[in-house]
Amino acid sequence: MNPVPPAAARPGRARRAAALGLCLAAVLSAAAHAHPPAGATEARGASGRPESSAAELTSRLAAVRARLDDLQADADAAVLDYAEAADRLAEARSDSESARRAADRAAGRGEDARDDAARYAAAAYKGAELGPAAAWSTARGPQEVLDRSAYLAVVGGRRADTVATAGAASTVAQTLAERAEEAEEERADAAEEAREARDAALEAVAGQRDALAGVIAEQTDLELRLARAGGTAGQPEETRAAALERASAAASAGAGPASSAAAGEPCTASGAADHPNGRIPESALCPLPQPGEMLRADAAAAFIRLDGEFRERFGRPMCVTDSYRPYAEQVRLFHEKEAGMAADPGTSTHGRGIAVDLCGGVEEHGSPEHAWMLRTAPQHGWHNPEWARGGFEPWHWEYTG
């Protein structure tokens, strides 16, 4: 997953928050000095309180993102609870079915044993009386009596064994039936736990979505206010063009090792692909028009071109909440999230400088902005991955070239 982390957790977010804060403060201050009466009137809402300052807005954004992380953790835990309960349910169901089948087999063996006992009993009583008279009046005399007596003794023993077997089979069947009943009760308990965990997970996810919508609305509102006020968030065309020129130059330098010239300055070398995930130096990362955001040179150039078309279509720049993600931040997310809920450190596409998380409408599945991106972004090598489609992570986009 690619959740939107707290602003304070990543250097890029901190730089961007500072840039936005300083810009908005300067714009609002200039507007207040130029038109004090009107500015004072417009700066008050329905409650009559002054409009939030840039620092307050930045602080609110960080707080909303922190709440979002808490809700994400709650959702992660609830999903894991549901998975564990579902496993217990499946195990109980398997035990119940196995016990029932075994009980049926044991009951069948008991019926067979009782039938055998009945046959042996009938055989024992089919012969004539074996008294003294029969011993001297029959053709074979005493020998026949002895033979038949021995046969009856064998039949009697066999009958006793068969009856004992039938009793044992009946006992086993009863025991297995009780086990099946216990397993059924366990299954019911597991099912109830699963339902409760599922409900908790859905509630947490719903809260997460609300929080996500809130933080995106906060950031979108801030960026729109800056754009309307003429701040750098609006990014004049010449600024965007300069960023595109730098990214294009770095991308065209080839895929060789990063140059040592101008080391430390952003977007002065190529070779980002030669560095481990999350350990790309700033010299191989190019800034986007959105303050504090950086990508690999070729991905940055393509994104800036896409951003230009987005501006022409919607009259504002794209809203970006996340771009390059350093390795240290990947480690933090991995340890904060439950197993499977964050990419293993060193595997995130953000760590390769080829992924962004967007806001400003793009994050809403089915919105005009999202639909436009689905149509237009692939022309610039950007895609909402298949696993993120269908509203799962509409804000996550990756560069494939």
User: Of the candidates 186, 208, 232, which is a domain's last residue?
Assistant: 232
Q: How many domains does the chain have?
A: 2
Q: Which pLDDT does position 373 carry in this prediction?
A: 96
* pLDDT given for residue 380 in this prediction: 96
Q: Which residues contact 15 (CB under 8 A, 6 or more apart)?
A: 291, 292
* Residues facing 383 on adjacent strands: 398
Q: Are residues 240 and 217 in the same domain?
A: no
Q: What is the 3-state secondary structure (H, E, C) of the chain?
A: CCCCCCHHHCHHHHHHHHHHHHHHHHHHHHHHHHCHHHHHHHCECCCCCECCCHHHHHHHHHHHHHHHHHHHHHHHHHHHHHHHHHHHHHHHHHHHHHHHHHHHHHHHHHHHHHHHHHHHHHHHCCCCCCCHHHHHHCCCCHHHHHHHHHHHHHHHHHHHHHHHHHHHHHHHHHHHHHHHHHHHHHHHHHHHHHHHHHHHHHHHHHHHHHHHHHHHHHHHHHHHHHHHHCCHHHCCHHHHHHHHHHHHHHHHCCCCCCCCCCCCCCCCCCCHHHCCCCCCCHHHEEECCCCCCEEEHHHHHHHHHHHHHHHHHHCCCCEEEECCCCHHHHHHHHHHCCCCCCCCCCCCHHHHCCEEEEECCCCCCCCHHHHHHHHHHHHHCEECCHHHCCCCCCCEEEECC
Domain final residue pick, 198, 232, 266: 232
Residue 170 has what pLDDT? 66
Q: Are residues 260 and 226 in the same domain?
A: no
Total Cβ atoms within 10 A of residue 363:
23
Q: Same domain for 321 and 385?
A: yes
215 and 180 co-located in one domain: yes
Cross-strand bridge partners of residue 359: 319
Do residues 225 and 249 share a domain?
no
pLDDT of residue 8: 36
Asked whether residue 8 falls in the same domain as residue 112, the answer is yes
Q: What is the CATH number of the domain that holds 336?
A: 3.30.1380.10
Do residue 95 and residue 181 come from a single domain? yes
pLDDT for 179: 75
Task: Examine the fold and report which residue of 209, 232, 255 is the final residue of a domain before the chain moves on.
Answer: 232
Q: Are residues 304 and 391 in the same domain?
A: yes
Are 269 and 150 found together in one domain?
no
> Which residue range is the domain that position 194 belongs to?
1-232
Within this chain, do residues 207 and 323 fall inside the same structural domain, yes or no? no
Please report the pLDDT score of residue 371 as a whole number. 95
Please tell me the predicted confidence (pLDDT) of residue 250: 83
Residue 287's DSSP bridge partners are: 294
Residues 281 and 351 in one domain: yes
Residues in contact with 386: Cβ distance below 8 Å, sequence separation at least 6, in sequence order: none
Tens digit of each residue's pLDDT (9 = 90 or more) over 156-208:
566 666 666 666 766 776 777 777 777 777 777 877 777 787 777 667 666 76
Kindly give the parts of the chain with pLDDT less than 70: 1-73, 75-76, 79, 109-110, 113-114, 116-167, 169-170, 173, 201-202, 204-206, 208-209, 211-216, 218-220, 223-224, 226-236, 254-266, 268-272, 330, 332-343
Same domain, 91 and 189: yes
pLDDT of 17: 46
Tokens of 48: 């009559």
